[in-house]
Amino acid sequence: MIRRVAIEKVAPRAAEIDAAGTYPQDMFDLLQELGLFTLPFPAEYGGSDSMLSSCVAVEELCRVCYNTAYLLIVQWVPFGAILAGGSQAQKDRFLPGLATGALRGAISTTEAQSGSDVAGIRTKAARVDGGYCLNGAKIWCTNSSVADFVLVAARIDDGSGAKEGKKRGALNLFIVERDTPGFTIGPPENKMGARGVPSCPLFLDDAFVAEESRLGPEGLGFKIVMEAFNQSRPIIGARGVGLAQGAMDLAIDFIQQRAAFGQQVSNFQGVRWMVADMAIPTEAARNLVYRAAAMVDEGISGQELAQAAAIAKAHATDTAMAVATDAVQLFGAAGISNDYPINRYFRDAKVLQIVEGTNQIQRNIIANNLLGRL
């Protein structure tokens, strides 16, 4: 069903979404109508509680449109964080809306001086009567321009005045609702890829949030949520698999229709080997992603899941970049023209190697599990 919908309804919109660089509300409405937002949610929220099913859905959509697949993921990451670290009251308030699409969320950790370096976060949450006062600035917060709330990572200010390089307050996530005074969402970035889902800066100027808006116990909430990210990482890998498969599909179709030197381009041995070399890592990536997703469904966590999820994400997204690069090569000059869709796949693939934990960070996770931390 998802493949049919992807081909018939999503694919015709993909190029326009990318070119316009605007949020595809019609695609959000379609996913909502199909009930796809509920896939990873527990049964009590109307979901199938299946990470594997979620990965298959993302893969099929990303095969034709990265941005539409992304709409699912930006809905699911806040869900995973709240499910893992939220109180029952927070779950009751936010999860039903995320499951149906009535609410939209976002999560924000990145700052100008702290992307992969989460320890470098400077946004502060100062304790005040009844809650916390947040001050700081964030960048690259995806989906924030349409979100009803944002999970903001901030360092709890213990009043000690500790500076960079010294022990500072613990990190937590805070639920900051869109209409919170002192909370401003800046204009969207003009991105190379993933252009249909906006990424914006955030500004917090004495933005007050109640104590009930803190996710998890003080000093432990962020750690809890990081474990939730391990569980959502297979979904990111699924995007890589879908993108690689879609790029390969386009390349195969192109070389079978194009002739050179008196024969089809697909008849040349060098070209046929390129296609084989695209297929091998794509299938391997698919199996790695499905294995990590199955581990989540089986309740496996900790270092074992972190290792499998990091391998799946790194390999799948590196594969997407490599396959898209070879696909552009097979298109020749047409591959660098905006009139052909393979250009879009190449740009979107590069994004995948950077977002949701760079592939260098994934390699750190893998090495630390194998060799121990430095």
Residues near 188 by Cβ (< 8 Å), separated by ≥ 6? 21, 145, 198, 199, 200
Q: How far is CA 163 from the centre of its chain?
A: 32
Contact 317, 359 (CB under 8 A): yes
- Rounded distance, CA 229 to CA 3, Å? 27
Using DSSP's 3-state secondary structure scheme, residue 354 falls into: coil
Contact 37, 54 (CB under 8 A): no
- Rounded distance, CA 56 to CA 75, Å? 16
Residue 298 among the catalytic residues: no
What are the DSSP E strand ranges found in 211-329?
214-215, 259-260, 263-264
- Output the CA torsion sign for 176, 57, 26, 65: positive
- Of 174, 228, 234, give the one whose Cα is nearest residue 204: 174
Q: 54: which 2 tokens? A: 């979620």
Query: DSSP characters for 167-200?
Result: --PPEEEEEEETT-TTEEE-PPP--SS-TTS-EE
Q: Residue 120 carries which side chain, given as an amino acid letter?
A: G
- Rounded distance, CA 275 to CA 270, Å? 9
Strand partners, 183: 204
| Annotated catalytic residue within 59, 60, 111, 356 | 356
Helical (H) or strand (E) element with 92: helix 88-100
N residues, the chain: 374
Catalytic positions are 356
